[in-house]
């Protein structure tokens, strides 16, 4: 009996704490609702990035500093965020070399950097549909359509598959409108947007609808025909169109913007990409 009473007393004494916990929970839910409303209204996440604590090894940092043009152009604050994201990516994904290719530290950093570049405007930057990065030295035979590929995203195997030769050429030549890494990461991002309901995915779906709407505009169609600005492959299907659009956005922003300002602006909103002169 004595014990019972004591327990009862304890509960009364704890009540204010319990209220506090409920209040914090409530505030958190309210914040998430506000965050969603804000992203819908302003086409960008309220906060892109909260914490920065992960560090790259000096050898990894050297690769970014010496070889990755986008990183060189970022502000100090964004550089710190970028390093954190690249470190997280390298930790999370499994890199596998194919046909006796040995995956080096440099390869990991550069693949992570291209992925994190495309998702840099997003809060959710991690590509949950990718678990493996398979790297072949050159073109590889793909069972999907029995042909040789330079890259593919295979959702069933949760794998991003690339030819290192093509990947390297893609990011090194920054203005030829070909970027294999950006292309394949966009496929993964778009499929995630279809399946997931997070802030960035909803923004993606909304802006992609805007892009499709634009494509029904006769004036725009005429201009696409007339300028032949985007390479033919873009018109294979919706997914290839978006992947090629991302390549052009990253590699030729000025040209893209001057030819197709509305398409450019929807792509920019879709990626929330406002860094380094974009
Ligand atoms: Zn493709």
Q: Which secondary structure element, helix H or strand E, spans residue 89, and what is its range? A: helix 76-92
Spatial distance between the Cα atoms of 93 and 185, rounded to a whole number of angstroms: 13
CA 244 to ligand 1 center in whole angstroms: 8
pLDDT band for 7, please (50, 70, 90 cuts). Answer: low
Q: Is the pTM of this model over 0.95?
A: no
CA 142 to ligand 1 center in whole angstroms: 13
Phi and psi angles of residue 103, each rounded to the nearest 5 degrees, phi first: -75, 120
Spatial distance between the Cα atoms of 193 and 205, rounded to a whole number of angstroms: 6
* Domains assigned to the chain: 58-176 (1.10.472.150), 199-271 (no CATH)
What pLDDT score was predicted for residue 6? Answer: 54
Q: Residue 202, SS3? A: helix
CA 73 to ligand 1 center in whole angstroms: 28
Phi and psi angles of residue 173, each rounded to the nearest 5 degrees, phi first: -85, 105
CA 129 to ligand 1 center in whole angstroms: 16
Contact 113, 153 (CB under 8 A): no
242: its two tokens: 């978006």
CA 245 to ligand 1 center in whole angstroms: 11
CA 234 to ligand 1 center in whole angstroms: 9
Spatial distance between the Cα atoms of 221 and 224, rounded to a whole number of angstroms: 5
Mean pLDDT of the chain: 89
Q: Residue 197, SS3? A: coil
Is beta strand 132-136 parallel, antiparallel or unpaired with respect to 159-163?
parallel
Sequence-ordered list of residues with C-beta below 8 angstroms from that of 125, at least 6 positions apart, any chain: 85, 116, 119
Mean pLDDT throughout 60-86? Answer: 94
* pLDDT tens, position by position, 229-259: 888 888 889 999 999 999 999 999 999 999 9
CB under 5 Å of ion ligand 1: residues: 240, 243
């Amino acid at each position: 009996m004595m014990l019972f009473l004591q327990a009862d007393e304890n509960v009364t004494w704890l009540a204010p704490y319990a209220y506090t916990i409920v209040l914090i929970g409530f505030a958190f839910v309210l914040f998430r609702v506000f965050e969603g409303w804000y992203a819908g209204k302003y086409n960008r996440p309220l906060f892109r990035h909260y914490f920065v604590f992960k560090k790259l090894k000096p050898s990894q940092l050297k690769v970014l500093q010496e070889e990755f043009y986008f990183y060189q152009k970022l502000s100090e604050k964004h550089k710190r965020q970028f390093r954190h994201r690249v470190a997280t990516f390298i930790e999370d994904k499994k890199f596998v070399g194919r046909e006796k290719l040995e995956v080096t530290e440099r390869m990991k950093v550069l693949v992570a950097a291209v992925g994190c570049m495309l998702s840099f405007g997003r809060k959710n930057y991690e590509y949950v549909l990718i678990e493996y990065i398979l790297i072949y030295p050159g073109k590889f035979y793909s069972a999907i359509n029995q042909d040789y590929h330079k890259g593919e995203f295979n959702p069933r195997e949760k794998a991003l598959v690339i030819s290192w030769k093509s990947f390297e050429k893609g990011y090194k030549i920054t203005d030829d409108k070909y970027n294999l890494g950006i292309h394949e990461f966009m496929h993964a991002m778009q499929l995630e947007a279809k399946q997931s309901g997070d802030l960035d995915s909803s923004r993606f779906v909304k802006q992609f609808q805007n892009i499709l709407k634009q494509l029904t505009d006769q004036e725009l169609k005429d201009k696409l025909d007339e300028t032949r600005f985007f390479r033919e492959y873009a018109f294979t299907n919706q997914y290839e169109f978006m992947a090629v659009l991302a390549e052009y956005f990253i590699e030729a922003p000025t040209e893209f913007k001057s030819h197709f300002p509305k398409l450019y602006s929807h792509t920019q909103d879709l990626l929330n990409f406002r860094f380094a002169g974009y």
